[in-house]
Chains A and B, each alone.
Chain A
Amino acid sequence: MAEEVLLQVKNATKSFGGVKAVVDVSLSLFKGEILGMIGPNGSGKTTLVNLITGFVKPDSGEVLFKDKRITGLQPHKIANLGITRTFQIMRPYHSLSAFKNLIVPLYSPRVRRSTGGRLGDRDAVAIDILEEIGFERDAYVPYKIASSLPLGYLKRLELARCIAMRPEIIICDEIFSGLSMAEIATMVPLLEKLQMQGTTIMMIEHRLRELFRLVNRVIVLNFGEKLAEGIPEEVIEKPDVREAYLGTEVDNVRD
């Protein structure tokens, strides 16, 4: 199967003051795959996401989406091209109720264009998306004010906001962290379904066990550099990867 490269990062480098957050990282994201990205705290994963999505401008290097340069475009332009991301520090619209949170992406030029302005009732669409992601409608969860929602729902709201954009690529920045096994269990099938529908997903995770059930390829970052890339089982056997992780979490994966 000839795989089509959807997104490409070429030699991206970014430093903040003296801190080298991302150093000469290159990677390719193939259409329809779920790519995992792991690395210890502060290894530059979030910064890489910011570089791709335009929130941070790289010092050097470039990002290509469908072979077109998107480096330096403003974040909202990149989002409208179909690359969306969740935020590690959740960023809900806290004064709006959960389903109204989704009105914002549903109002974006991308969605309005793709539906030809005939989206119908945005509220209904929003509630459907939320229900699918596990906001129980019967318990009126989608109607709750976002600031009153517990962490589990907020993480899922982040993902829902991406889904509402009908994106081609979703980049999830640690959406599993802080969630219970049960909550993760409701999200995994959803991610798989998205993949089936053709969405490409990049997942940044510290919860390796859950991550490895979903992905077929991982990239390891350490101190901003790409340490390894490949099939999860092989990658974690590498001594330098184990060293970067100091053993603990990696051992957990192999039960």
Chain B
Amino acid sequence: MGILIYGIINSIVFALIAMGFALVYGISRLPNFAHGAFYILAGFLTYTFLLGLGLNSPTSIILSLIIIAGIGAAVYRFLLIRIRGMEASEIIASLAIGLAIMEGLRFAGFRGKTYTLPVFLEGTVRIAGVPVDFQRLIIIGVGVVLIVVLWLFTHHTKVGLALRAMAQDEGAALMLGIDTDFAALIALALGSVLAGLAAIVILPLGNITVETGYDILINAIAVCIIGGLGSWVGAVIASFILGFAQMLTVYIVGAQWQMVVGLLAIILILIARPSGLLARQKELEERV
């Protein structure tokens, strides 16, 4: 029972982590390898506002999210926009930006000492005999709400559908008068906010370290690759696969294998089924 409940929590954590990456790729076909950096940056920003400057939590959270959205948008507006469509350059540039942010944080002194965010609510409840703390319940709540809201947004609103159409055929979208650059800008801002939000609800469970940023990036990529890059539903299902797989690995084999699960999943899936476990059709089979 404990495994089931904590597996679900772990899966929702994965979904939260991957959401921003999936959204950005789903809308603008931009693999944002700075995702992990945005996540960790949001964590440190909130920490600074909350514990460094002593602001109250709503203000700190909102401020951090605004800043992180601005950074995401700026990275697109001033850098990535110039290399749109050149996939290798996009990956390398965003990875480099992410590295600069993360190592910059480390240089700025965020290391060694333990940094952590306070939980929103103290206390635990017992669910079916298993103790679960409130923070994890909040994670589940936020995660489920975001999954549903984003699904409704991308599948049932005009704007969302237009954005998805754009992802599939940018040329056609341009012809229909959709400003694809603006959409990508919004996507990156939103994606960064999602990364930040994930950080703010998840980080109270542990310490904030720069290394986390790398792990977040790997896990986000793993989820999106398993679900099939660009597939929204796939990503959610993949979170559960990976969430439980990782949980069981740690439980059965040992904690040191925790990150290996995601890495091996990426490698094996890309080798065996690059379009993702759940993709109905091999989209990678290029038209000849």
Give me the interface of A with B, judged by CB distance under 8 Å. Answer: 16-17, 46, 50, 55-56, 87
Contacts and interface: CB of A to CB of B under 8 A. Distances in A.
A17 B281 contact: yes
Interface string B254-288: 00000000000000000000000000110001001
A87 B288 CA distance: 7
Contacts of A55: 288
Contacts of A17: 280-281
Nearest to B280: A17
Contacts of B288: 46, 50, 55-56, 87
9 contacts: A16-B281, A17-B280, A17-B281, A46-B288, A50-B288, A55-B288, A56-B285, A56-B288, A87-B288
Contacts, number: 9
A53 B212 CA distance: 49
Which of B280, B281, B288 counts the most A-chain CB atoms under 10 A from its CB?
B288
Contacts of A16: 281
A36 B241 CA distance: 52
Interface of B: 280-281, 285, 288
Nearest to A85: B288
A171 to B, nearest CB: 12
A87 B281 CA distance: 23
A16 B287 CA distance: 11
Contacts of B281: 16-17
Nearest to A173: B288
Q: Which 6 A-B pairs have the closest CB atoms?
A: A55-B288, A17-B281, A50-B288, A87-B288, A56-B288, A16-B281
A55 B288 CA distance: 7
Nearest to A57: B285
A21 to B, nearest CB: 11
Contacts of B285: 56
Nearest to A91: B288
B282 to A, nearest CB: 10
A56 B288 CA distance: 9
A55 B286 CA distance: 10
Contacts of A46: 288
Contacts of B280: 17
Nearest to A17: B281
Nearest to A75: B288
Given A16-B281, A50-B288, A56-B288, 4 more contacts: A17-B280, A17-B281, A46-B288, A56-B285
Contacts of A87: 288
Nearest to B286: A55
B133 to A, nearest CB: 46
Nearest to B287: A89
A72 to B, nearest CB: 15
A137 B237 CA distance: 60
A103 B281 CA distance: 36
B228 to A, nearest CB: 15
A50 B285 CA distance: 12
A79 to B, nearest CB: 13
A220 B280 CA distance: 32
A86 to B, nearest CB: 11
A15 B225 CA distance: 26
A16 B285 CA distance: 10
A87 B280 CA distance: 27
A18 B237 CA distance: 24
A17 B280 CA distance: 8
Nearest to B285: A56
Contacts of A50: 288
A103 to B, nearest CB: 22
A16 B280 CA distance: 11
A55 to B, nearest CB: 5
A223 to B, nearest CB: 19
A86 B280 CA distance: 30
A46 B288 CA distance: 8
A163 B281 CA distance: 35
A181 to B, nearest CB: 29
A50 B281 CA distance: 18
B288 to A, nearest CB: 5
A17 B285 CA distance: 12
A83 to B, nearest CB: 15
A124 B107 CA distance: 60
